[in-house]
């Protein structure tokens, strides 16, 4: 009986691993478990990429953060980040300092800043869809506005 059970377990594991080997893993599927470091994007395309990369570089320079996603739209710039585990006690202070830094460095931008994992995941998914070309400018802008609204609803 024990040998039959072990055989069943081994064949089940073998079957599961064989079926999942050829499946590509999307960045968004692993976003909550590891550092994804998504490339910063603008819904307008490559026009504003230098400014967006500067924003990401400024945010990533904070030692308390380990993963940052930046998506720039027509009106809003979404900045989402993950805080290192030992610094999670100072989340409010980190967000306050980050807002001050962004406003000082980029005064003309309208920032929406969040450390929420769900918002981070949505930003990574939007980033993937924009990179793959599955979203037009207007649809990407609309989705970005929905994510920004989500952050406001969570506060």
Report yes or no on 111 lying in a domain.
yes
How many separate domains does the chain show?
A: 1
When pLDDT is averaged across residues 44-51 and rounded to a whole number, the result is 69
68 lies in some domain: yes
In a domain, 19, yes or no: no
pLDDT of 86 over the 90 cut: no
Q: Count Cβ atoms within 10 A of the Cβ of residue 112 and give its class: 0-12 exposed, 13-18 middle, 19 or more buried.
A: buried
Question: pLDDT for 126-154, tens place per residue?
Answer: 988 888 888 888 898 999 999 999 988 87
Q: Answer yes or no: is 7 within a domain.
A: no
The Cα 141–Cα 97 span in angstroms is 27
Q: What is the pLDDT of residue 131?
A: 85
In a domain, 3, yes or no: no
Domain that holds residue 65: 26-154
Residue in the structure block whose two tokens are 């079957």 = 15
Q: Which residue has the higher pLDDT, 97 or 153?
A: 97
pLDDT at 32 over 80: no
Burial (0-12, 13-18, 19+ Cβ within 10 Å), 121: middle
Residue 123 maps to a domain: yes
Domain contains 97: yes
């Amino acid at each position: 009986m024990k040998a039959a059970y072990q055989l069943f377990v081994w064949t089940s594991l073998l079957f599961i691993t064989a079926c999942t080997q050829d499946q590509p893993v999307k960045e968004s599927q692993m976003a909550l478990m590891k550092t994804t470091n998504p490339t910063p994007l603008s819904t307008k395309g490559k026009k504003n990429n230098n400014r967006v990369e500067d924003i990401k570089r400024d945010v990533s320079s904070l030692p308390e953060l380990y993963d940052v996603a930046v998506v720039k739209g027509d009106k809003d710039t979404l900045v989402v980040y993950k805080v290192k585990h030992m610094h999670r006690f100072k989340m409010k202070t980190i967000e306050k300092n980050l807002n001050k830094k962004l406003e000082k460095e980029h005064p003309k931008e309208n920032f929406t800043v969040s450390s929420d994992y769900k918002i981070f995941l949505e930003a990574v998914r939007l980033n993937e869809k924009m990179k793959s070309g599955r979203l037009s400018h207007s649809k990407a802008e609309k989705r970005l506005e929905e994510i920004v609204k989500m952050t406001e609803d969570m506060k």
